[in-house]
Chains A and B, each alone.
Chain A
Amino acid sequence: MRCWFFALMIALSCTVSASLPARQTPALEPGLQARIALAQSMEQLPQAGQGAWKDWDEEAGIDERVQAQYLEALKAWRQEDYPAVVLALVPALKTVPDYPACLHLLGHAQFRMRRHEQCVLLLQRLLRVAPQLVGRTRHLGHSLGQLGRTAEALAHYDLVLAAEPGDLQARRGRAVAHWRAGHAERALADLSKVVQSDPEQGQAWLLRATIWYDMEELEKARVAVGRARNLRPRDPEPAFLLARILLELGEKEKARTMEQIFKTLELERSVLRPLEGQLLIDPWNLDLLTRLVRAHQRSGDRPAARGVLSRLGRAAKRVGNKQVLAWVAEQQEQSPFR
């Protein structure tokens, strides 16, 4: 269990721009387990005193009183079963109040499920008992941003970056917050550092393009959005922005073509996004997974289809659904990526 944070931080590489599904989606009722997990409010967990874990050493391993539950939660995390993470860690935190490793993982599970108030609550508690872990809490900034608490997000990113200057996701998050606070130049400065460190950061290129477009610096925006589009070809947002830029540059034919590409990608996303949102809280739902596989297949995104197919296989195996297992095998047989 040593270096659990490092393993977890790799697993937590999620995007800043995660946002809520706009509306409900017709889908099956989530499983009972998920419903129990979702009904739990984190406010009711027992609290440790301020600074209670200030000497806690993240390298020292997991407290044996909660080790089994933590391992169970970590396994669930890897399977993208966030409700199960909640169900495993809530009893652990009742046994050892505010235990840092559990608070941290639970906060991230809430972030993944887009339950940002709960994530904020947990990660703020983490900082209260173990302030030395501030460098591990960029998701607190992300969630504050998602709740529209921009000034608080900015302040928190500053703290994270003071502790971990190399955290590119925190830096990108701070750029988003600067942008929302109306500080375009500061946002661009952060984004410049991000793409210098990692030129493959498509989201950073897209935000740069968005800011320059907003400032009506169309040529700069065009170059940046071109990079974003190369890095994120299935993302409708760069296509949208590029279509708008081309239109304003007077390149009407190219703009019209890009608008069509955007609308195709947007249509695909409008199918995928609600399914993915549902799966966050109902991860073993065979119907949702099957629909997601088919949606990826229809859009021609074979790697994504293959990934979900494999997850569907695990889900079907879990409940012994031979029919679905046979379908998964059949689809995998047909995949040119085998």
Chain B
Amino acid sequence: MTALLVPLLLLLLAQPAQQEPWFSDVTDEVLPGVHVTCGSVTKDWILEVNGGGLALVDLDRDGRLDLVVVDGSTRERVLEGKKGLPPRVFLGRAGGSFEAAGEAWSMDGEGWGTGCAVGDVDGDGWSDLLLTQWGRVRLFHNSGGQGLEEWTGRAGLPVEGWHTSAAFLDFDSDGILDLFLVRYLDFDFGEQKPRGEAGATWRGQSVMAGPEGLEPRADLLLRGLGDGRFEDCTGRLGPASAAFGLGAVTLDVNQDGRMDLYVSNDSHPNHLWVAQEDGGFLEQAFAWGLGYGANGREQAGMGIACADLDGNRRPALLVTNFSGEPNALYLPARRPGTYREKSSRAGIAGPSLTSLGWGAGFLDANLDGALDAFVLNGHVYPEADGAGSDTSYAQADHLYVAQGEGFGVRPLTNGKRFVSRAGVLGDLDGDGDQDLVVLTLDGGVRVLRNIAPGVGRALVVQLVARRGDRDAPGARVELTIGKQRSTRLVSTCAGFQAARPAEVHFALPGSEKDWTLEVFWPGGGRSVVRGGKDSEGDASQNGSRLLVRVEQGS
């Protein structure tokens, strides 16, 4: 009898319990009617399936996050010689709402917009915007928080190709931001054939062609010159095969203080570019165990989340993949210099198998001190709604909540299905916890407010560097409470075609005051802030949000 009861009990446990959502869709209240377009809804071409980009950045430094939405285009516009749909800026307002920015912030449409990166390219103290496209890469200079000025013409950026994600980093430690550009594949409406004519099938159904059968493009490295211009130095990247690149993050994989790069590649092993002493990079994903899935299979890497989950300064990587493949969670192994793919044991593999993941990020959703993760989902093939596909076109987005040594999954919002793509975290309403902005393919830009039952307070850290980008990308921030250490790396790179605020978030338990914050500045130097004393920095309390601003050398 027991032999039968145990399986039945397990079956009961397997049924998803009714769970209160931790994020609430507040789009109608704070950002109504913002839609994006990415080609036809039938998705006849691969260019139509990846969607556009997002950035959350305080462009006017009013203390509220502003939103940049990178829109796409249509084949008809391209063939008629019309410009793509324009990128748009929405300025943050009180309570986490947005309003369309005025003329000074407007940008013309140009190519087929894909992604966004944020960095202060000329060191004037204001965050600039870099937009990726199917088309040339564009640069917009932030004119002292008063508006944007296009600097593309003088910037020396690539003038053609399909660029997806981009990452700013200072690889040569000269205090000037450099640029890594992820590229996908060669695409031309004149040369490629649409769904139905291309002969591509998926599960017996005719679908758009690619990426297999199309030509992948190698990624690019550009050196910043400090005045908004860049020069190509891709030669500093060591040998690696060209791949269908989609996502990128900066990280310090070996804790040597130099920024490395991790790139998710579609249908190709992922790349890990490890920075060398001579300013070059070597691709070492296989050696680190970060190139393939646990079974040695290349996967269809889309987005990436990266964070130190256990305070050992060694970052974990979560890579979102195609349906039928688990999202991959790479955790540092005991032996330095190597990783294990642990998605199964961490409880991420199973729930992700029938989903196709895109944007992802680690966050402490309920401020309990353990990092959770969000994953945005949605298929590339509308045909996924057909019988026997084991998946669907619109899918529920997931929140993986830290539980013990793994994660438990719950729907991100109310379980409603979307065809989601890029996503970016930021504290929109100033209450300390991180909210989320999501781009829906051919749909609305959604704002999801964090309503998780908060356990602790948020400690938000903003850095002010003495030179270069004042946000100090590449700085490491460590919070120590008793014997517990948490670390964050400052970066604006949000993993998939998106840019996030440079501030870092920690959780403080209850009324804890006995904490120490250490900042390890890029290029050397360390600052310390102690809880309750504020020996360095500037702290302000707002509800459950404690904001600490740390200036280098102050």
B386 within 8 A of partner (CB)? yes
Asked if A27 and B199 make an inter-chain contact with CB atoms under 8 angstroms apart, the answer reads: yes
**Chain A contacts for B180, CB-based, 8 A:** none
A214 within 8 A of partner (CB)? yes
B190 within 8 A of partner (CB)? no
Asked if A216 and B334 make an inter-chain contact with CB atoms under 8 angstroms apart, the answer reads: yes
A21 within 8 A of partner (CB)? yes
Asked if A24 and B342 make an inter-chain contact with CB atoms under 8 angstroms apart, the answer reads: no
A207-259 residues with Cβ-Cβ distance < 8 A to B are 210, 213-214, 216, 236-237, 239-241, 243-244, 247-248, 259
Least Cβ distance of A273 to chain B in Å?
Answer: 9
CB-based nearest A residue for B405: A182
Asked if A116 and B390 make an inter-chain contact with CB atoms under 8 angstroms apart, the answer reads: yes
Least Cβ distance of A4 to chain B in Å?
Answer: 25
Which of these, A28, A182, A244, contacts B199 with CB under 8 Å?
A28
Most buried by A among B3, B6, B345: B345
Stretch at the interface among A71-79, A143-151, A311-319, A328-336: A143-151
Which of these, A30, A241, A274, contacts B204 with CB under 8 Å?
A30
Complex CA distance for A64 and B406, rounded to whole angstroms: 54
Interface string of A183-225 (1 = CB under 8 A from B): 0100000000000000000000000001001101000000000
CB-based nearest B residue for A39: B387
A55 within 8 A of partner (CB)? no
Contacts A117-B390, A118-B387 given; does A210 touch B294 at CB 8 Å: yes
Asked if B350 and A150 make an inter-chain contact with CB atoms under 8 angstroms apart, the answer reads: yes
Interface string of B285-301 (1 = CB under 8 A from A): 01101001011111110
Asked if B204 and A281 make an inter-chain contact with CB atoms under 8 angstroms apart, the answer reads: yes
B363 within 8 A of partner (CB)? no
**Chain A contacts for B213, CB-based, 8 A:** 26
Least Cβ distance of A153 to chain B in Å?
Answer: 9
A16 within 8 A of partner (CB)? no
Complex CA distance for A41 and B335, rounded to whole angstroms: 50
B58-77 residues with Cβ-Cβ distance < 8 A to A are none
Asked if A38 and B334 make an inter-chain contact with CB atoms under 8 angstroms apart, the answer reads: no
Complex CA distance for A168 and B207, rounded to whole angstroms: 39
Interface size on B, residues (CB 8 A): 65
**Chain A contacts for B347, CB-based, 8 A:** 182
Which of these, A23, A149, A216, contacts B333 with CB under 8 Å?
A216
Asked if A155 and B296 make an inter-chain contact with CB atoms under 8 angstroms apart, the answer reads: no
CB-based nearest A residue for B343: A180
A42-69 residues with Cβ-Cβ distance < 8 A to B are none
Interface string of A134-164 (1 = CB under 8 A from B): 0000000000001111111011101100100
B454 within 8 A of partner (CB)? no
Stretch at the interface among B351-359, B445-453, B506-514: B351-359
A264-287 residues with Cβ-Cβ distance < 8 A to B are 266, 270, 274, 278, 281-282
Interface string of A8-45 (1 = CB under 8 A from B): 00000000010111111111111000110011110000
A169 within 8 A of partner (CB)? no
Complex CA distance for A156 and B4, rounded to whole angstroms: 10
A113 within 8 A of partner (CB)? yes
A294 within 8 A of partner (CB)? no
Asked if A24 and B390 make an inter-chain contact with CB atoms under 8 angstroms apart, the answer reads: no
**Chain A contacts for B287, CB-based, 8 A:** 247
Interface string of B320-342 (1 = CB under 8 A from A): 00111110000001110010101
**Chain A contacts for B389, CB-based, 8 A:** 115
B225 within 8 A of partner (CB)? no
Asked if B3 and A162 make an inter-chain contact with CB atoms under 8 angstroms apart, the answer reads: yes
Asked if B296 and A262 make an inter-chain contact with CB atoms under 8 angstroms apart, the answer reads: yes
Complex CA distance for A246 and B335, rounded to whole angstroms: 13
B17 within 8 A of partner (CB)? no
B7 within 8 A of partner (CB)? yes
Complex CA distance for A109 and B37, rounded to whole angstroms: 40
Complex CA distance for A234 and B192, rounded to whole angstroms: 35
Least Cβ distance of A147 to chain B in Å?
Answer: 6
Complex CA distance for A243 and B288, rounded to whole angstroms: 12
Asked if B338 and A248 make an inter-chain contact with CB atoms under 8 angstroms apart, the answer reads: yes
Which of these, B4, B13, B201, B346, contacts A24 with CB under 8 Å?
B201
Asked if A240 and B204 make an inter-chain contact with CB atoms under 8 angstroms apart, the answer reads: no
Contacts A25-B212, A29-B206, A158-B7 given; does A39 touch B14 at CB 8 Å: no
Asked if A38 and B204 make an inter-chain contact with CB atoms under 8 angstroms apart, the answer reads: yes
Complex CA distance for A213 and B339, rounded to whole angstroms: 11
**Chain A contacts for B212, CB-based, 8 A:** 23-26, 274
Asked if B10 and A154 make an inter-chain contact with CB atoms under 8 angstroms apart, the answer reads: yes
Asked if A148 and B351 make an inter-chain contact with CB atoms under 8 angstroms apart, the answer reads: yes
B388 within 8 A of partner (CB)? yes
Complex CA distance for A241 and B297, rounded to whole angstroms: 11
Contacts A151-B10, A236-B296, A278-B201 given; does A22 touch B386 at CB 8 Å: no
Asked if A115 and B388 make an inter-chain contact with CB atoms under 8 angstroms apart, the answer reads: yes
Which of these, B292, B346, B351, B353, contacts A146 with CB under 8 Å?
B353
Asked if B200 and A26 make an inter-chain contact with CB atoms under 8 angstroms apart, the answer reads: yes
Asked if A23 and B202 make an inter-chain contact with CB atoms under 8 angstroms apart, the answer reads: yes
Asked if B7 and A20 make an inter-chain contact with CB atoms under 8 angstroms apart, the answer reads: no
Least Cβ distance of A270 to chain B in Å?
Answer: 8
**Chain B contacts for A149, CB-based, 8 A:** 14, 350
Complex CA distance for A324 and B287, rounded to whole angstroms: 45
Asked if B204 and A282 make an inter-chain contact with CB atoms under 8 angstroms apart, the answer reads: yes
**Chain B contacts for A20, CB-based, 8 A:** 323-325, 390
Which of these, B198, B203, B323, B381, contacts A281 with CB under 8 Å?
B203
Complex CA distance for A241 and B388, rounded to whole angstroms: 33
A70 within 8 A of partner (CB)? no
B227-261 residues with Cβ-Cβ distance < 8 A to A are none
B276 within 8 A of partner (CB)? no
**Chain B contacts for A23, CB-based, 8 A:** 202, 211-212, 266-267, 300, 322
Complex CA distance for A281 and B389, rounded to whole angstroms: 13
Complex CA distance for A210 and B349, rounded to whole angstroms: 15
**Chain A contacts for B346, CB-based, 8 A:** 182
Which of these, B4, B204, B323, contacts A35 with CB under 8 Å?
B204
Complex CA distance for A35 and B388, rounded to whole angstroms: 12
**Chain A contacts for B344, CB-based, 8 A:** 179-180, 182
Asked if A214 and B200 make an inter-chain contact with CB atoms under 8 angstroms apart, the answer reads: no
**Chain B contacts for A236, CB-based, 8 A:** 296
Asked if B7 and A156 make an inter-chain contact with CB atoms under 8 angstroms apart, the answer reads: yes
Complex CA distance for A110 and B203, rounded to whole angstroms: 12
A-B contact pairs, 25 of them (CB 8 A): A20-B325, A22-B267, A26-B209, A34-B204, A39-B387, A115-B388, A118-B388, A146-B353, A148-B349, A148-B353, A148-B354, A151-B11, A151-B14, A152-B14, A155-B7, A180-B350, A213-B340, A214-B294, A214-B342, A214-B345, A247-B287, A248-B333, A248-B338, A259-B286, A266-B297
- Other A-B contacts than A39-B386, A155-B8, 6 sampled, CB-CB below 8 A, are A19-B325, A23-B212, A27-B200, A41-B388, A152-B10, A180-B345
Complex A-B, nearest 7 residue pairs according to Cβ-Cβ distance, in ascending order: A240-B296, A20-B324, A151-B14, A148-B353, A155-B7, A148-B350, A115-B388
Residues of B within 8 A of A (CB): 3-4, 6-8, 10-11, 13-14, 198-207, 209, 211-213, 266-267, 286-287, 289, 292, 294-300, 322-326, 333-335, 338, 340, 342, 344-347, 349-354, 381, 386-390, 405-406
